[in-house]
Structure 1
Amino acid sequence: MLFNPSRDEARRFFIQAWQKHQAHAPLAGIEKIVAGILLHHPEYQPILAEEYLDKDWPPEYGETNPFLHISMHLAIEEQISIDQPAGVKALYQQLCERLSQEHTALHAMMDGLGEMMWQAQRNNTPPDPEIYLEILRFKVGQLK
């Protein structure tokens, strides 16, 4: 069965994982990943509170939705761990080599993932992993 949380459930999970991290409580596997992501994003740590559960960050105002950003990090971490779509792990490693920072490589991948999702929404089609992989290949090629 796939884990498909609602927006509020996902946000609550991130908030609770961060609270557990701050309290030095034991973290489950995915909670450890969330805490690691948040350690790289101190700018998001203050919004991990109940009063932000219903807040929107409209892109037309140039705002980044921190909960979406965290979710995309998680998705990419999972993709890399299982090499799905096939080849994504090697592309990540190439980006890491060329960019010299894992976190910067993850953000480069996030751009590709976002583009694939945007195209799927715009065309009302399922996400096409080949679009994502092609974007990542292009990014790797640009960095040679």
Structure 2
Amino acid sequence: MLFNPSRDEARHFFIETWRKYRAQEVMTDLEKITASVLDRHPEYQPFLSPDYIDQDWPVEYGETNPFLHISMHLAIAEQLSIDQPFGIRDLHQQLVKAAGNEHDALHWMMEGLGEMLWQAQRYNLPPDPATYLSILRKKAGLPEA
């Protein structure tokens, strides 16, 4: 299920993970990582309820989709754990230095990931890791590779 979950399956996973975390139940490694991200985002915790499974957060309203935000944190955590695209770990460290803290650096990475995905969708192309890394280098104030 978690390799290609539907929107509802992913949301149920986040909601159940948060419930287990708060109840201090045994969790899988992925649930532990997810709970750590959720814990750092108290502004999204009220949405971790079945009441929000069908909620939409249209971009034009200027609100962040909490489930998308958490999903992007998890995607970046995976990228860092396996250093894919290659060099992302080193670039992450440069972003932490430039941002002054880990969490802001991760949010810069999310912006870069989102921009790369938007470009791929806009031009009907596959996501380009080189574009992603280039965006992140600019955010870190580094020269192009």
TM-score, length-scaled by structure 1: 0.95
**Structure 1 residue 14: Cα displacement:** 0.4
Aligned CA RMSD, in angstroms, stands at 1.3
**Structure 1 residue 98: Cα displacement:** 2.3
**Structure 1 residue 58: Cα displacement:** 0.2
CA distance in 2, matches of 1:79, 1:55: 28
Q: Aligned letter for 1:130?
A: A
- 1:62 paired with 2:101, answer no
- 1:52 paired with 2:52, answer yes
Q: Aligned letter for 2:115?
A: E
Match of 1:109 in 2: 109
Q: Aligned letter for 1:47?
A: F
Q: Using the TM superposition, name which of 70-79 and 25-34 deviates more.
A: 25-34
CA distance in 1, matches of 2:64, 2:2: 27
CA distance in 2, matches of 1:10, 1:51: 14
Q: How many residues align?
A: 142
Structure 1: unaligned runs, 5 residues or longer? none
- 1:78 paired with 2:117, answer no
CA distance in 2, matches of 1:120, 1:2: 23
Match of 2:141, SS state, is helix
Structure 2: unaligned runs, 5 residues or longer? none
Match of 1:46, SS state, is helix
Q: 1:28-75: CA deviations, max 9, x gaps? A: 111111111111100000100001000000001101100000000000
Name the % identity: 65
- 1:132 paired with 2:135, answer no
Q: Using the TM superposition, name which of 74-83 and 26-35 deviates more.
A: 26-35
Match of 2:92 in 1: 92
CA distance in 2, matches of 1:64, 1:100: 23
Q: Aligned letter for 1:24?
A: Q
**Structure 1 residue 2: Cα displacement:** 7.8
